[in-house]
Amino acid sequence: YQRRVRGIYKRPLYCNMQIPKRDEEELIRQTPEIFIEKEKYELNEALPEDKSAILWAFLASYLPTDEQSIQRFYVQHAEYSLAQTRQDLTHKKRSAYQALAYSVRDRLIERWKDTEIYFNQSDVKRVYYLSLEFLLGRSLQNSMSNLGLTNQYIRGLRNLGVKMEDLYDQEPDAGLGNGGLGRLAACFLDSLATMNYPAWGYGLRYKYGMFYQVMKDGNQVEMPDYWLSFGNAWEIERFDIQFPVYFGGEIQQIQKPDGTAKYVWKHTEEVVAVAYDVPVPGYNTYNALNMRLWSSKPSNEIDFVSFNQGDYIRAVEQKQRAETITSVLYPNDNTTGGKELRVKQQYFFVSATLQDITRRFRHTKKPWSEFPNLVAIQLNDTHPTLGITELMRILVDLEGLSWDDAWGICTKTFCYTNHTVLPEALEKWSVDLFERLLPRHLHIIYEINHRFLELVQEKWPGDIQRMSRLSIIQEDPKMVRMANLAVIGSQFVNGVAEIHSELVKTQVFPDFYELWPHKFKNVTNGVTPRRWLHQANNQLSEVISRFLRTDNWLTDLDLLKELREYAHEPKLQKKWSSIKRANKAKLAAWIEKKLGITVSHDALFDVHVKRFHEYKRQLLNILGVCWRYRQIKGMSYEEKADVQPRVIIFSGKAAPGYHQAKRIIKFINNVGQVINNDAEVGDLLKVVFLPNYCVSLAEIIIPASDISQHISTAGTEASGTSNMKFAINGGLILGTLDGANIEIREEIGEKNMFIFGAKADQVEDYRRQIRERNFNPDPRWHDLLNLIEQGVFGNFPDLPLLLNSVRDGNDFYLLSVDFPSYLDAQEKIDAAYKNKKLWNTMSILSTAGMGKFSSDRSIRDYAINIWNLKVKYGSWLCLIFFEGLNIFF
C-alpha cells in the first residue's frame, strides 16, 4: 500500500515524461474526488486515512523540471532557505551556489526516498560498502549531470542573470578522503546507483579533511582543511538516528542457568554517533542510493557539576574528547595518542554502522540465520575490520546466539578487499591498546584466534612457525594483526588487479591461500566514465558520442572500442588535438593564476600526480628531470632547436609523519626553482608543483595531460586508478609493468604505451644485488648524484638523507636499476610526440581500449562473484510508472 501511495500516485505526474501545463491542470481537475470530497468535512474533521495518504502523495509529486519551475525553486531557496535577495546574490556567489545546490538536492531527495522504500518492500539483499574514505569531490555538477538536468539549469539560471559555471568553484571538495582508496569508493557508489543495485555506503563525517597543503620555501606545510565552514548543502542531518558507542572498562562473566557463560561489557566511556545522509544519484536512472556518515557527539554536552564549581575546562572535556573522534581524517599515528585516536575512530565507525544494519534487519522479523541472505558487508581495506568482532558481540552478547551460529553468520556476511602488498600498510595495533579501549573485542579476538589455530593445528600438526604467521596475535611485541582477522572472518578476499591478486596469494597471504584457496578472488578496479570523462572533459565526451552516434557508452564503456575504426580519421584527429590543446590552455591559465609561472601549452605536458610515497617513485621522475636539464645546458643553440619542450607537473600530498616523502617534495620544488629561472633553458623545460591535489584539481589536470607517469617499482602498486583516468582521456602512459598497467597494456596494446623497468619477478634479485653491493648502476646515475651533491639544484639540510636512500646498498625501490630504461623511454616519447598524426592515433586508441576499466564492470564482478546479488531491479521505476498511469486514469 505504501508503495502504491508513494509510487503509483506520485510518479505519473513528473516521472518519465513532461506533461504540458494545461494537461496537468486537467489531470488535477480529474483527480480524485479527494479535492472535492474534502469540502464535505467540517473544520474539525479529517479525511479518512486512505484518502489523506493519497492526497499527501499527490501533493508530494515529483518536482517539475521545466525552466520556469527551476527558476521558481531556485528563487524560493534563495529567499526562504537563505534569506537572501536578488541583490545579495549578485555579489555573494557562495549564497547563489547554496540556493542552486538546495534546489538540485530537492530532486535528489525525492528519488532517494522512493528508492529506499522500493528496496525495503522488495526485501532484496543489500550491499553495505564500509570505507573510512569517500573522496567524492564536488557534488553539484555531478548531480545535475546524473539527473540529466544540466541544460535545463543552465537555461533557467541564465535568464535570472546567473552564470551557473561561475558557481561550480564555490563548492569545496568534500574532506572525506585522501587518495585512491577513497576515490575508488566514490566511483563504486556512482556505479552501484547507476546499475540499480541495492546498496549503501558507510563512512565518517570528518570536520576536517586530511589537511590543506601549502608550500612554504618549497616545504609541505599542513593547514586545517575545514571544508564545512559554510555547511554542506548535500547532507541531511538525521537526529532521529543515533547510536551509543562505548569504550574502556572491563568485562564480567555471568553464569547462565544452562551452565554457559555470558559476558557483560562494563564500559567507562560513552559517545553518541549521529547519522548524516548524502543521496548518491545514478546516471540516467531514478535510482538514488544513500551514503551514511557518522559524526561523534558526547553523551552529555556539558558537565554541570564541574561548570558550577568553576572548572570550565573540565566541564567541556568530555565534549571535546568525543568530537575529536571524527574531527580529522587519518590522525597522525606516530604517537601513542594518535594510535589511540585511530583505533577509536575505526571502532566508532563500525559500531555505529553494525548497530544500524542490525536494526534494519530486525525490522524484517526474520531469524538471524537469514542475515547473510539479506546483508553483504564489504570491507574496503583493513580499517573497518573491527566490524567482524562487533557483529560477533551483537549476536552473542545482545541477541543470545551461540558462538558457532554467530560465527557462521559472520563468515557468510563479510568480504575483504586488500589494497596493498606493502607489509607496513597492513594494520597492526598493540594488545595493550585493545585491553584499555576495547576489552570485550580483544576477548572475542582471542576466542576467534584460539578456534582458528586449532584448525591450523589439524591441517599442519606441529608447524609452529606457520601457526605464528597465521595467528591474529603477533608475539614480541604483542600486536593484533587486522589483516589476518579480516581474512579469517570474511567469506571472500579480493585483490584489485590481476598481478596484485596473484601477489596476495603468493606473498601477502600465502599460508591463508594454501588453507582456503576458494576464498581468494580478483576484481580489477575501475573508474566512473561519468565523472572522469563526461564531466571532466565534456568536449571530448561530446565528440565521442558524435562519432559513435550514441552516448550509451557512458553506461556501456565497451562501446568505446568502436573508436578504433576512426583512429586514423583526419576529422577526428583534428577535433581530438584541438580539445587537448584547449584543455592544456585551461591548465596553463590555472598555473599562471595560482603559481605565477607561465608555461606554454604547446609544450608536452608530462604529469605525475599521486599520493607521495617512495614506492610511487616521484624521486625517479625528478632525477630524470635533473638529467634532462643537464643535457639541455650542454647543448648548442642549434641542438636546442631540436629539443621537445616539456612542462613537468607534480601534485600530491605526503602524510604528515612521512618525512622522506616530504623531502622529495622539497627537492622537486628546489629543482623547479632552479630550472624555471634559468633563461638559457627558457620554455624548453618547466617544473611545477601544484599544491593541495584534490578531485576538482584532478578534473583540470587529467584532460590536459599528454603523458602521465605511473612508475611504481614492479610488484608494489596494488592497482592504481589514476592510470585509468588519464588513459580514458587520451593521455598516454609512461609506466612499469605494475598494478593495472599490465591489464591496460593488454587492452590498448603495448605500442600505445611507454613501458620500462624491471619486472616483478626480477625485483628481489636486484634488491639482493644492491644489498650485497654487487650491482653496478649506469654511469649516468653516479654523475647525476654527484651533480646534485655539488648544489646545482640548491641545498637543504635533509638532502644527504634523500640521496643516501638510493645509494650505498639502500636503493630498496630500484631507482638506480630502472634509471637507464626510464631515460630511454623518455627519448621515445620525445620522438613520438613530434609526429602529431602518430601521437593523435595513439591517444585515440588509448581511449578506445579502456572499456574494461569502468567501475560498472568492477561492480558487476563484485555483484556476481562476491556478493551474490540477483539483478532483478533494473526496470522497477518503469514498471511503477506504467502501472501507475493505468491505475491513475
Q: Which residues of 813-834 are buried (b: 16+ CB within 10 A; e: fewer)?
A: bbbbbbbbebbebbeebeebbe
Describe the chain by its helix, strand, coil percentages, rounded to 5: 55, 15, 30
CB atoms within 10 A of CB 712: 24
* 61/315 Cα distance (integer angstroms): 49
Q: Among 271, 64, 78, 270, which Cα is nearest to 161's?
A: 78
- Which cell numbers in the block locate residue 432? 595493550
- The greatest distance separating any two alpha carbons of the chain, rounded to the nearest whole angstrom, comes to 98
872 exposed, middle or buried (CB, 10 Å; 0-12, 13-18, 19+)?
A: exposed
- Residues whose CB falls within 8 Å of the CB of residue 665, separated by 6 or more in sequence, listed in order: 218, 219, 220, 612, 654, 689
- Residues whose CB falls within 8 Å of the CB of residue 117, separated by 6 or more in sequence, listed in order: 2, 3, 6, 7
* 50/60 Cα distance (integer angstroms): 15
- Which cell numbers in the block locate residue 615? 614506492
- Which cell numbers in the block locate residue 783? 654523475
CB atoms within 10 A of CB 11: 25
Find the DSSP H helices in 530-687: 538-548, 570-595, 618-633, 637-640, 659-676
- Residues whose CB falls within 8 Å of the CB of residue 21, separated by 6 or more in sequence, listed in order: none
Cβ proximity of 609 and 615 under 8 Å:
no
- Measured at the alpha carbon of residue 436, what is the angle toward residues 432 and 441, in degrees to the nearest 5? 90
- Residues whose CB falls within 8 Å of the CB of residue 181, separated by 6 or more in sequence, listed in order: 131, 133, 135, 380, 381, 419
- Which cell numbers in the block locate residue 259? 551452565
Distance of CA 549 to the CA centre of its chain: 32
Cβ proximity of 278 and 291 under 8 Å:
yes
Place of cell 563504486: 188
How many residues are given for the chain? 889
- Which cell numbers in the block locate residue 102? 538546495
- Residues whose CB falls within 8 Å of the CB of residue 822, separated by 6 or more in sequence, listed in order: 620, 624, 711, 756, 757
Helix (H) or strand (E) holding 254: strand 250-255
- Measured at the alpha carbon of residue 127, what is the angle toward residues 125 and 130, in degrees to the nearest 5? 155
Q: Among 730, 671, 722, which Cα is nearest to 706's?
A: 730
Q: What residues are annotated to the active site?
A: 419, 610-611, 616, 721, 725
Q: Among 460, 461, 474, 477, which Cα is nearest to 511's?
A: 460
Place of cell 470530497: 37
* 33/683 Cα distance (integer angstroms): 76
Cβ proximity of 302 and 434 under 8 Å:
no
Helix (H) or strand (E) holding 865: helix 855-865
